Amino acid sequence: MTQPSRRPEFHIAGTRFDAPRLVPGLYLVATPIGNLGDITLRALETLASADVIACEDTRVSRKLMDHYGIGTPLTPYHEHNAATARPKLLARIADGAAVALISDAGTPLISDPGFKLVREAHEAGLLVTALPGASSVLTALTLSGLPTDRFFFEGFLPSKASQRRARLAELVRIPASIVLFESGPRIAESLADLAALFGDREAAIGRELTKRHEEIRRDVLPALAAHYEGDAETRGEFVIVVAPPAQEAAPDADDVDGMIRAALTRLSVKDAVAEIVAATGLPRRDVYQRALALAKDLAKNVAKDGGDAP
């Protein structure tokens, strides 16, 4: 097993702590999204004891390491060098090293490189474990005041307007809160497209989350779009949370019976049921039982009148 020659330690407010040795493996470590205090003790121990820390930008990550007195070597791992860096990291783990993977901010692999590294580590039979922590996705979602029971994470939208609108058109019917990332220079354009396609849905905009100038702005999309068309502050990173589409009221029993009767005049019971279920979202079993009863009534009436049943 590879053992670091340096002393694995970290500092908190001037106090030094020793970090335990790690077994070889890949450690996915969440780091703060803004406030450097938002890191776990386990994450600090792991970063201090790792043989190497793979990160997107060594300059960004060095600030965090310096803040906590961590001297672990940093190596870049990003979308531009992943193909060449990945086999080297896997080889180091196989040779007995503990490798920590972090992103510039938050939980690694969320809109960051790392998916292939994790997959290939699993395929090679190497230890892979995660240290949970800060996430801008969950931070924005919980602050939004919008439904949290179901959510869809989209990440960054396409930068080209036509591609962005096409993608939003695909998202508009998703029955869940939608979480998006956006940069300051594009926030106004993206909100304008959201307002045009999603209408008056509620939304929340999180800017500079956990930082000194954190801002949460809640309103309907057209009002938010109008705000950012003006001279609103657009510095920093943005997370947009959009409410799910409003639920349409379920049709009452009489309406359903009418739909079934109309469908039975041109379709079999099986096809009529499929059509009604698709249109209403009602349980198939309930629609099927009702369709059987109505089909029998229709058959009796047709027989009584001397015609042919549908």
Digit-coded pLDDT (tens) for 160-195: 999 999 999 999 989 999 999 999 999 999 999 999
Q: Which of 92, 102, 98, 99 is nearest to 65 (CA)?
A: 102
pLDDT over 70 for what percent of the chain? 94
Assign domain 9-134 to its CATH superfamily. Answer: Tetrapyrrole methylase, N-terminal domain (3.40.1010.10)
* Average of per-residue pLDDT across 291-299: 85
Give the tens place of pLDDT for each residue, 221-272: 999 999 999 888 899 899 999 999 987 666 788 888 988 988 888 889 999 8
* Average of per-residue pLDDT across 108-128: 94
136: amino acid identity, one letter: S
Whether the pLDDT of residue 307 is over 70: the answer is no
Under 8 Å between Cβ of 145 and 67: no
Under 8 Å between Cβ of 181 and 112: no
Tokens 């799910």 -> residue: 244
Q: Do domains 9-134 and 137-242 have the same CATH topology?
A: no
d(CA 89, CA 62): 19
d(CA 309, CA 117): 63
Whether the pLDDT of residue 1 is over 90: the answer is no
Query: Domains of the chain: which residue ranges?
Result: 9-134, 137-242, 253-303
Q: In a 3-state reduction of DSSP, which class is residue 279? A: helix
68: amino acid identity, one letter: Y
Quick one: CA dihedral 167, 170, 173, 174, positive or negative?
negative
Of the pLDDT bands very low, low, confident and very high (cuts 50, 70, 90), residue 310 is very low
Beta bridge partners of 240: 180, 205
| Range 137-242: architecture per CATH | 2-Layer Sandwich (3.30)
Residue 304: the pLDDT is 61
Of the pLDDT bands very low, low, confident and very high (cuts 50, 70, 90), residue 292 is very high
d(CA 224, CA 99): 43
Torsion angles phi and psi, residue 246, rounded to 5: -65, 140
Strands (E), the chain: 9-12, 15-18, 25-29, 52-55, 74-76, 98-101, 128-131, 151-156, 177-183, 202-207, 215-220, 237-242
Phi-psi region of 98 (alpha: psi -120 to 50; beta: other; left: phi over 0): beta
Give the tens place of pLDDT for each residue, 12-51: 999 999 999 999 999 999 999 999 999 999 999 999 999 9
